[in-house]
Amino acid sequence: MPRLFTNRPRQRLFPARLGAGRLNWERTSAILYIVGGSTFILGSIFFLPQYEALSDLGAWIFFIGSLVYLLVTGYDLLESSAYVRSGKGSKIWSWLELVIAGIYVGGTVLFTVGSLLFLSQIDWIVAGGWCFTVGSLFFLFGAFLNAIQIIKEESIVRLQLLNVTAIAFALGSILFLVASLPYLSEALNLEDNWVLFAYVGWEYIAGSILFLLGGITHYYRLHKAKHYHQAERKVHHEVEKHKRHKRRKALERTY
């Protein structure tokens, strides 16, 4: 599942006295996203026809992965809301980010509910298929909006990483959308359409891998940003030190 990505500094949601640094919380959510992506790859394997007997296990794994994703997208929604209230940056872009974050949360909730509907005890496959289809449309629309919202980065490498993240999220959303469509028809059963549902399973696996790739590039971009800001602070410190030295020398010459 996609998540909100942006090249602006994230807002601090927790008091600094709790040790909740901006980059620490952002890195934690990035790690959670990678965990969710890995979970979805595992869950997607059980959508393959040869693992039909373990389909309930796959649905539960999808449900757990969706909850992990919900933590991440929920955090992004709260952070985007805080950014809008702060009044920083462009009002249009900040509101757009909030809308995108809301779309991602909506899609994640649909996948969370849809995963439970695939359980054999409930067996609402068509309803689950609709949840996955509409959720995938949400993800695709959000990924498209997020991609056009990418603006200039200070670093070419981080800009390229943003582009890779956007492409991975968009392609993953398309694969999830296509894979969900066969579940909308009660006429398509596994016994008569074994090959079709084998493709469906592999589409879910490929889409999950792309989401995981997007999460990894997002985490790596955070890593690069951390080193960039550390170097920037070091340069600023050296400049200020040089200025103080010059002022001290000027005062010594005056006296």
Query: Which tens digits make up the pLDDT trace of 94-142?
Result: 888 899 999 999 999 999 999 999 999 998 999 999 999 999 999 999 9
Give the separation between CA 145 and CA 24, rounded to whole angstroms: 27
Average pLDDT of the chain, as a whole number? 81
pTM of the model: 0.78
Q: Above 50 in pLDDT, residue 249? A: yes
State the average pLDDT over residues 169-182: 92
**Among residues 89, 224, 209, 219, which one has the least CA distance to residue 149?**
89
Helix/strand/coil for 5: coil
Q: In the chain, which residue ranges form alpha helices assigned H by DSSP?
A: 22-45, 55-86, 91-117, 125-148, 156-180, 194-254
- In the chain, domain spans: 16-225
**Among residues 92, 241, 254, 180, which one has the least CA distance to residue 83?**
92
- What is the four-CA torsion angle of 63, 66, 71, 76, rounded to 10 degrees? -160
Q: Amino acid identity of 154?
A: E
Q: Give the per-residue pLDDT at 14.
A: 54
Query: Which tens digits make up the pLDDT trace of 20-30?
Result: 444 566 778 88
